[in-house]
A and B are shown apart, each in its own frame.
Chain A
Amino acid sequence: MDSRTLTILDPSGLHTRPAARFVQVASRFASRIVIRHGDRSADAKSLIALLGLTVRPDSEVTLEADGPDAAAALAALVQELAPYAVAAPGPAIAEPAVPEPAVPGPAVPTPLEP
């Protein structure tokens, strides 16, 4: 399973429009894709589930993809979220047993410049 962690920076959090685009991109891939936020998770192909996560600004989400096109799916989704979020560096491959993916170097979240 591949995973990437991002910090949502958009002042509105993961709101309807980016969430809708996110669902559309996720739906192009065969892999099962899950977005985790705190102790909750949602199917990345369901807008209702995503909005139900109520992702606030400055909070972390982790994308997990499992399937034949998992790496491509994560790359596309990170790119899709680029205007709204900052990704932790590098395509980290998470160990399934480890709750948080290893993030090399200093934590990234760069605050949005005014």
Chain B
Amino acid sequence: MSLVLVSHSRTLVEGLRDMVAQVAGDDVRVTIAGGTEDGRLGTSAPRIAEAVRAAIGGPDDRADGVLVLLDLGSAALSLELALEELDPADRAIVTVSNAPLVEGAVMAGVQASVGASLAEVARAAAEATSIPKLPEA
């Protein structure tokens, strides 16, 4: 299982990748696509496509599933364009999560680290939507 983190900000996904690595360990491959090609805030379909391909891997280290998590607004449009560039066989193992980026990535990372399937990892991320920020009073 691999994760792809997509954001308007490169530093945001770099930090989030560190957080995921801390809870999930080194066995879960995490790739990132943050910012535009010229380093501004924004999203770039080619950069996202590159990150997704890196997450899928090659013949020797091909992932059995890839979950993509994204931040706001146009990230979804750029991601859609990026996914259209993929071969159908690659596209078939990619799932896009509707989860909030930070919580979803951490939950998905932990679930992936215990050898869960793409569907299970996607479900863990989706459940992150309902995590309360504050403990119940």
The residues of A with any CB-CB pair to B shorter than 8 Å are 13, 16-17, 20-21, 23-24, 27-28, 45-48, 51-52, 54, 56
Interchain CB contact (< 8 A) of B124 among A13, A17, A47, A54: A47
Residues of chain A lying within 8 A (CB to CB) of residue B127: 48
Q: Are B110 and A54 in contact, CB atoms less than 8 angstroms apart?
A: no
Q: A45, B114: Cβ atoms under 8 Å?
A: yes
Do B135 and A54 have beta carbons less than 8 Å apart? yes
A54 to B113: give the CA distance in the assembly, Å: 22
Q: Is the interface of B mostly helix, strand, loop or mixed?
A: helix
Residues of A within 8 A of B83 (CB): none
Alpha-carbon distance between A20 and B114 when the two chains are bound, in angstroms: 10
Q: Is the CB of A23 within 8 A of B114?
A: yes
The interface size of chain B toward A, counting residues with CB under 8 Å, comes to 18
Closest chain B CB from A76 CB (angstroms): 14
* Interface pair A27/B115, CB less than 8 Å apart: yes
Q: How far does the alpha carbon of A23 sit from the alpha carbon of B107 in the complex, in Å?
A: 11
Does the CB pair B114–A24 fall under 8 Å?
Answer: yes
Write out the residue numbers on chain B whose beta carbons fall within 8 Å of the beta carbon of A46. 124
Given contacts A16-B106, A54-B136, A56-B135, contact A47 B22 (CB under 8 A): no
| Contact assessment for A17 and B22 in the assembled complex, using a CB-CB cutoff below 8 Å | yes
| Shortest beta-carbon distance from A5 to chain B in Å | 21
Within the complex, what minimum Cβ distance (angstroms) separates A58 from chain B? 14
